[in-house]
Amino acid sequence: MVMGIVYALVNVLVFVLLAPFYDGVARRLTARVQSRKGPPLRQPYLDILKLLGKENVISAEGWPFRLAPLSAFASILAVIVLVPLGAKANILSHRADVITVVYLLALGGVSVLLGALASRNTFAMIGASREMMTMIMIEPVLAMTLIMTAVKVNSLGLQGAMAGVSASGFGLSTGLMLAVYLLALQAFVAKQPFDIAEAEIEVLEGPFIEYSGPNYALFKLSMMLKQMFYAFLFVSVFLPAAGTGVYPLDILIQLAAILAVFVLIAVVGSTNPRLRIDQAVRYYAVLIFLSLCAVGLALKGL
């Protein structure tokens, strides 16, 4: 019981303290691919600290504007507390299952939309509509991933589903889902070629155009946590667990694997152009179809 609480706290600490580091790694790698010396690795920490020190300009009346960053941060934090890091279930893992995780991640996306629509700015509305389309098309792929692992272990519980390959072996369905997840990874973490809605400050200001200071820091931190969570999901579901049994060592191995996933994200992100929303929607439709095929194969027992 006490260890359960300790595991939950370790989850939060590891994720919140390391997510900006991974984002810094991604930025530095992007810079190196562009042949320039990038920002130092601790740059996102400095960014968030600086944003927390700025004045909070409330430029729209009403509670949705103020609620949106808090609910986005809270939802991703709730997801982080639930997942079993290092293959150890914590005190809250029994109270939630796969559907809860999907719901909470969707809640995070809806908070961004809420904030964007509360801004009463045309650019924010365009960003919000693109974010909506992206969310509608990409949440099914995430749900299919988790449902496929749940089908393979015959239960919706988080501990079994997130264990993925280590619990149920590597089959045809897992292989297909691995490919689909990797193809959709860039859309999950909102980087090129699919950062159409969120980080798209160069082409059209995204849904965060009216946010400043601490609100924006919360949004940025929740984006970084989301990135790290999706990388962690890949590592936990599709890579066999190290199984050393020593909790810190398990965590370290998983963190190293997350670093490798981030390297992949950064390299793919910096060598690809950004797609238009209609091209992206066509791409996602193919991915949804393939993920449904993978779930079908899992149901067949393959």
Partner 1 sequence: MWLTSKIKQILMVLKPGVVTLKYPFEPRPVAKDFRGQPAWDHHKCVGCGGCAAHCPARTILVRDICQELRIMIYDGARCAYCGRCADVCPEDAIVMTEQFELATGDRDDITVTMELFMLTCQRCGRCYNMETTNMIDKMELKGFRYDHLEMRAVIPKATERFDAKVLEATERYERPRT
Partner 2 sequence: MLAKLCKKAFPRSLWVYHCNSGACNGCDIEILNILTPYYDVERFGIKLVGSPRHADVMLLSGAVTRPTLPLVKKAYEAIPAPKLVFGIGSCAVGGGCWFDTYNVTGGAATAVPVNYYVPGCPPRPEAIIYGVALALGLVDKKAAPVELKQVEFPIDAYERNKAWEERNVIYELLKH
Return residues touching partner 2 (CB under 8 A). Answer: 31, 34-40, 43, 45-47, 49-50, 52-57, 59, 201-202, 205, 208-213, 216
Decide if residue 66 touches partner 1 (CB under 8 A): no
Query: Which of partner 2, partner 1, none does 41 bind, CB closer than 5 to 8 A by kind?
Result: none
Site map 6..45 versus partner 1, x via CB under 8 A: --------------------------xxxxxx--------
Identity of the residue, 68 or 151, whose beta carbon is nearer to partner 2 in the bound complex: 68
Please name the helix (run of DSSP H) or strand (run of DSSP E) that holds residue 212, with its range, or none: none
Measured from the CB of residue 220, what is the shortest distance to partner 2 in angstroms?
A: 10
Count of residues touching partner 1 (by CB under 8 A): 10
Decide if residue 95 touches partner 1 (CB under 8 A): no
Decide if residue 59 touches partner 1 (CB under 8 A): no
What is the spatial distance between Cα 43 and Cα 25, in angstroms, rounded to a whole number?
A: 9
Query: Which of partner 2, partner 1, none does 47 bind, CB closer than 5 to 8 A by kind?
Result: partner 2
Identity of the residue, 175 or 214, whose beta carbon is nearer to partner 1 in the bound complex: 175
In the block, residue with structure tokens 């950064």: 266
Of 61-69, 97-105, 235-243, 265-273, the window that binds partner 1 (rule: CB under 8 A) is 265-273
Q: Where are the alpha helices (DSSP H) in the chain?
A: 2-33, 43-52, 63-82, 98-118, 122-153, 158-163, 165-168, 172-188, 214-238, 247-271, 277-300
Pull the structure tokens for residue 250.
Answer: 């398990």
In the block, residue with structure tokens 């729209």: 60
Beta bridge partners of 157: 97
DSSP string, 60-86: S-SHHHHHHHHHHHHHHHHHHHHS-GG
Identity of the residue, 164 or 269, whose beta carbon is nearer to partner 2 in the bound complex: 269
Under 8 Å CB-to-CB from 143, ≥6 apart: which residues?
A: 102
Decide if residue 267 touches partner 1 (CB under 8 A): yes
What is the spatial distance between Cα 240 and Cα 133, in angstroms, rounded to a whole number?
A: 33
Exposed e or buried b per residue across 81-115, where buried means at least 16 C-beta atoms within 10 angstroms of its C-beta:
bbbbbbbbbbbbbeebbbeebbebbbbbbbbbbbb
Identity of the residue, 43 or 155, whose beta carbon is nearer to partner 2 in the bound complex: 43
Query: Which of partner 1, partner 2, none does 32 bind, CB closer than 5 to 8 A by kind?
Result: partner 1
Report helix, strand and coil shares of the chain as percent, to nearest 5: 75, 0, 25
- 229-248: which residues touch partner 1 (CB under 8 A)? none
Query: Which of partner 2, partner 1, none does 54 bind, CB closer than 5 to 8 A by kind?
Result: partner 2
Measured from the CB of residue 268, what is the shortest distance to partner 1 in angstroms?
A: 8
Residues 124 and 117 sit within 8 Å (Cβ to Cβ): yes
Query: Which of partner 2, partner 1, none does 154 bind, CB closer than 5 to 8 A by kind?
Result: none
Which spans of this chain sit near partner 1 (rule: CB under 8 A)? 32-37, 267-268, 271-272
